[in-house]
A and B are shown apart, each in its own frame.
Chain A
């Protein structure tokens, strides 16, 4: 089985070819961030137009690097949401066109499902597992029981964690993207210098909140002499902020591990995915909470944690194997919660499902 995947739901224009043996034959990602660099500050067209301009070439390159012909494809998987609707439509329509012209089935993939299943591509782990999805647009804890069988245990009630990192970086003058910049600055910083809040810590449930933490960083910046952070201030604030996020992650995830383990006592696996999963400090904090609860922790490599099309192609493989395809009039969806991914799939009788 060989599947072409297409991803255009936010900043990245991406295409990839993946096979049923869990091999990534090609994976091309063009970030608009790269365009910023290439054109030295000339701002690229956001959203659909940039995707339109680049997608055909990127699909072509993915097919050539994979040494795959269109007739060799078993199906075409394209992100159908959630995301910026113009961008999603570009990728989905392209996917439909390739599917129609090659008479191959279309798989309309939920972007979040791509993140949720990518660890099965890289590590081949079995269902079920607990997923912590942490990125610029999302922060949620999801029980993954099978393909299409997702139960959300908690989500952010305001901002996503990656957004909090980006905005903190901006306030500290650390540049974009904020995640790596904050992590780098935090290494030299004193995490105890600023007393920042840990929103929702100690409360029952698995929801997150980061808006108040962001505002507290702003107040801390305003409280500095001249209200402008120097190198030392920025390092200390970055460390204080990152530690607060780590404390929140540990607290909320511990609740989720407990809830999950009640339902799946013998499948004690936590998967961390999304761009924020690349943060080494947060990974270590999560590894510790997993060890304490007798869970193993899994995370795809960084280039598969951030947005990419290999995970979309892989979700296509998983769905095609189960006979789940989508009609050519499937609409693009700006909003599409993961637990509304249909059809729900019941697990095998033994509760296991090998990749």
Chain B
């Protein structure tokens, strides 16, 4: 996933991306990122089935809720309902799954532009997203690693993410 916008301040992981040794490391990364996320963020999670996109999103939502002292209960996969929302004091979280969609226009009907006004959007299967969405975009591309449990994640963020990612992942 590359960011082709003319933006001098992008930041990215190097090489094949961060190595995540197992589910626990995916969850740890999600928890850390949830701490620096803010309203207006568009976090895109791409990768094949089974690479950990939903697991990342679930941990992200649970961590942020727990930090805010909010009880979220279940965090189901949104594949069937297309979107799940979680009300939070520092910006609602919208968890989208565009797996079942085929055209970018359908995504707009889900209200993603409104969601980006004052919420944080986690988007699985972001290749169905329309172009030129507002928001501070972070692309996370998950791939399978060397072992059955290992995953890799390449991260590309726009300028607003540079400082926030410093220290969390290896910046290039």
Interface residues of A (CB under 8 A from B): 10, 43, 45-49, 82-86, 135-138, 155-156, 158-160, 162-163, 166-167, 170-171, 211, 214-215, 218-219, 334-335, 337
What CA separation (Å) do A83 and B78 show in the bound complex? 10
Contact partner, B50, options A45, A83, A86, A218, Cβ 8 Å: A218
Given A46-B106, A158-B55: A10 and B73 interface contact (C-beta under 8 Å): no
With beta carbons under 8 angstroms apart, the residue of A135, A215, A337 that contacts B74 is A337
**Assembly CA distance A126 to B42 (angstroms):** 49
**Chain B residues, CB < 8 A from A155:** 74
Closest 9 A/B residue pairs (Cβ): A215-B50, A137-B80, A136-B80, A218-B50, A46-B106, A159-B77, A163-B79, A84-B81, A43-B102
Nearest CB to that of A215 among chain B residues?
A: B50
User: Whole-angstrom distance between the alpha carbons of A32 and B99 in the complex?
Assistant: 16
What residues of chain A lie closer than 8 Å to B86, measured between beta carbons?
335
B58 lies within 8 A of chain A by Cβ: yes
Partner of A48, one of B48, B55, B85, B109: B109
Q: Report if A47-B110 is in contact (Cβ < 8 Å); known contacts: A158-B55, A214-B50, A335-B85.
A: yes
A159 neighbours in B (Cβ, 8 Å): 54, 77, 79
Check A334–B84 contact: CB distance below 8 A. yes
Are B109 and A49 neighbours in the complex by a CB distance under 8 Å? yes
- Complex: A316 Cα to B124 Cα, angstroms: 36
B164 beta carbon closer than 8 Å to chain A: no
Residues facing A in B125-169 (CB within 8 A) are 148
9 additional contacts (CB under 8 A) given A10-B80, A158-B54:
A46-B109, A82-B81, A86-B109, A137-B81, A160-B77, A218-B48, A219-B50, A337-B73, A337-B74
Provide the bound-state CA to CA distance between A29 and B146, in Å: 47
CB pair B55 A211 closer than 8 Å: yes
Interface hub of B49, B74, B80 (most chain A Cβ within 10 A) = B80
Chain B residues with CB under 8 A of A211: 50, 54-55, 77
CB-defined A-B contacts under 8 Å, sample of 21: A43-B102, A46-B82, A84-B81, A84-B82, A84-B83, A85-B85, A137-B80, A158-B54, A158-B77, A159-B54, A163-B77, A167-B49, A211-B50, A211-B77, A214-B49, A218-B49, A219-B148, A334-B81, A334-B83, A335-B84, A335-B86
CB-nearest residue of chain B relative to A83? B81
Interchain CA distance A159-B109 in the complex, whole Å:
24
Task: List chain B positions with a Cβ less than 8 A from chain A.
Answer: 48-50, 54-55, 58, 73-74, 76-77, 79-86, 101-103, 106, 109-111, 148
Most buried by B among A45, A156, A171, A215: A215
Could you tell me the distance in whole angstroms from the C-beta of A332 to the nearest C-beta in chain B? 11
A218 to B82, CA, bound (A): 22
- Residue on A with the closest CB to B85? A334
- When A45-B106, A214-B50 are in contact, do A163 and B85 touch as well, CB less than 8 Å? no
Instruction: Report how far A155 CA is from B109 CA in the complex, Å.
Output: 30
Task: Find the A residue at minimum CB distance from B79.
Answer: A163
Q: In the assembled complex, how far is the CB of residue A83 from the closest CB belonging to chain B, in whole angstroms? A: 6
- Give bound CA distance, A337 to B75, whole Å: 11
Q: Give the docked Cα–Cα distance between A155 and B81 (Å).
A: 17
Q: Which of A45, A135, A162, A163 has the most CB of B within 10 A?
A: A163
Cβ–Cβ contact A86 & B110, under 8 A: yes
Q: In the complex, which residues of chain B have a beta carbon less than 8 angstroms from the beta carbon of A49?
A: 109
**Within the complex, what minimum Cβ distance (angstroms) separates A221 from chain B?**
10
A163: chain B residues within 8 A (beta carbon): 77, 79-80
Question: Which residue of B has the minimal Cβ distance to A44?
Answer: B106
B109's partner among A47, A136, A162 (CB-CB below 8 A) is: A47
Name the residue in A43, A46, A166 with the highest tally of chain B Cβ atoms < 10 Å from its Cβ. A46
A84, A162, A337, most chain B CB atoms within 10 A:
A84
Shortest C-beta distance, A136 to chain B (Å), equals: 4
* Complex CA–CA separation, A334 to B73 (angstroms): 13
* Pairwise interchain contact B106-A160, C-beta atoms closer than 8 A: no
